Structure 1
Amino acid sequence: MTRIVADISVSLDGFVTGPDPGPADGLGTGGEALHHWAFSDDPRDRRVLREATARSGAVVLGRRLFDVVDGPNGWSDATGYGAGEVGRPAFIVLTGAPPRAVRLNDLDWTFVTTGLRDAVAIARRRAEAASSDSGTDLDVVLMGGGATVGSALDAGLVDSLTLHLAPVVLGAGTPLLTGRAPRTLVQRDVVPTSTATHLTYDVVRA
């Protein structure tokens, strides 16, 4: 069965970027520490990343995050989706208007201008089709940014939440859960590593 999985790295004080994020520095000041785990040699980190990439039937991201990953300092052959793990799911971008050009034109991009629910619905159809083709249950992964993940939680669209809790205090930046609607979570898995604590929760539907 295809699930909607929100998967994002976060600091100890609840930020998914450092201060002043932008297209040239998508994670903001100090924010690169949030993703040290994704490039770690710790076998537990590698397993978490490999399993997350393998389950990705389609990936949803917001326009600001797209502009970062598709920008000149964004994804490359070494630092693409899954940080070097093999994974080429469909990418669904929630946006007000499609971009005029795409640098990463070897990836499967769909731009949705009609809202988050439509983006998730399209991603679910793509993930279900990929599941049928592969004979494996694949999920929709909401990779960010923080506003997209938070809005999906508020809208009751998320089945599972995975947080990669980095051992860093950023002090400011883009908050993940501040000001969000109350949600009940059921803890399902905790994987502590040398660079992060990987937390997985089921999201209880209201």
Structure 2
Amino acid sequence: MSKLRVAAFTLSIDGFGAGPDQDLTNPLGVGGEDLHKWMVGTRTFRKMVGKDGGTTDTDEAFTVRSFENVGAWILGRNMFGPIRSEWPDENWKGWWGDNPPYHVPVFVLTHHPRDPIVMEGGTTFHFVTDGIHAALEQAKAAAGGKDVRVGGGVATIRQYLQEKLIDEMHLAVSPLLLGKGENLFAGLDMPKLGYQCTEQVATPLATHVIIKRA
């Protein structure tokens, strides 16, 4: 059965999934890039950015798992780019360049319509203006029975959690304190929403936690 999943999403110890003041220089907010040290050295990530080598340890295993059986993605607009309000032009096509690492349909939540963007490698960005439920319906249809992965950001994941729509989350808790930014769990009663921790594995750069909805 198709699941709605969050995978390889990194948090600081104090619960922040991104730092403050996102812009072109700091796409994950100030300090946000340091959260992902556990992943950037893995073989899978290095291959994504056109590099050889990389680790084949537990961090790599969780990175590989994050891409398994994914037929479509859902992204918040900030995960697509730093642009706010109306689209000024058609030039911005995402953070990843001409060949993004998704390789499946991607549904971007936005308030502002835009035509789909066909990229290299099988990625097509679709822009959804009528909310998280519409995006999920379209993503599941496009996934063809495979899972739908919510890539973030924090606000998008929180919306799906509040509606009890996420089936499973893999969070990588980085040994870093950000102090401020976007907090994933602030104000959310996860047990009341039906979620529980089912797995945890620690590595030198992260504690990997699996959370599932009963």
Q: Distance in 2 between matches of 1:74 and 1:159?
A: 27
Matches within 5 A, 1:146-157: 146-157=154-165
- The DSSP-based 3-state class of the residue aligned with 1:153 is helix
The 1:190/1:68 distance shift into structure 2, 3 A limit, reads farther
For residues 8-36 of structure 1, give each alpha carbon's deviation from its aligned partner in whole angstroms, at most 9, with x where no partner exists. 21110010111212344221111101111
Deviation at 1:197, TM superposition (A): 1.1
Q: Percent identity?
A: 30
Deviation at 1:62, TM superposition (A): 0.7
2:66 corresponds to which residue? 52
Runs of 4+ in structure 1 displaced over 3 angstroms?
A: 68-73, 98-102
Question: 1:112 pairs with 117, 123, 128, which one?
Answer: 128
Work out whether 1:5 is the aligned partner of 2:13.
Answer: no
- The DSSP-based 3-state class of the residue aligned with 2:138 is helix
Deviation at 1:101, TM superposition (A): 8.7
2:204 corresponds to which residue? 194
Work out whether 1:89 is the aligned partner of 2:104.
Answer: yes
Work out whether 1:121 is the aligned partner of 2:130.
Answer: no
Q: Distance in 2 between matches of 1:67 and 1:105?
A: 15
Kept after mapping to 1: 8 A contact 2:115/2:127: no
Q: Distance in 1 between matches of 2:173 and 2:10?
A: 6
1:160 corresponds to which residue? 168
Matches within 5 A, 1:22-33: 22-33=23-34
For residues 99-134 of structure 1, give each alpha carbon's deviation from its aligned partner in whole angstroms, at most 9, with x where no partner exists. 4795x732211111111011011111111x2x4xxx
Deviation at 1:146, TM superposition (A): 0.3
1:134 corresponds to which residue? none
Q: Distance in 2 between matches of 1:126 and 1:144?
A: 19
The one-letter code sitting in structure 1 at the alignment partner of 2:33 is E
Work out whether 1:34 is the aligned partner of 2:11.
Answer: no
Q: Distance in 2 between matches of 1:65 and 1:141?
A: 13
Q: If the length of structure 1 is used for normalisation, what is the TM-score?
A: 0.81
The count of corresponding residues between Structure 1 and Structure 2 is 189
Kept after mapping to 2: 8 A contact 1:42/1:194: no
Q: If the length of structure 2 is used for normalisation, what is the TM-score?
A: 0.78
Task: Report the more deviating stretch, 160-169 or 176-185.
Answer: 176-185
1:140 corresponds to which residue? 148
2:45 corresponds to which residue? none
Q: Distance in 2 between matches of 1:77 and 1:49?
A: 22
The one-letter code sitting in structure 2 at the alignment partner of 1:161 is M
Return 5+ residue gaps in structure 1 as ranges.
Answer: 82-86, 132-137
Kept after mapping to 2: 8 A contact 1:5/1:139: yes
1:84 corresponds to which residue? none
For residues 43-100 of structure 1, give each alpha carbon's deviation from its aligned partner in whole angstroms, at most 9, with x where no partner exists. 211111112112211110011111159958922489x53xxxxx51211111111347
Q: Distance in 2 between matches of 1:73 and 1:65?
A: 8
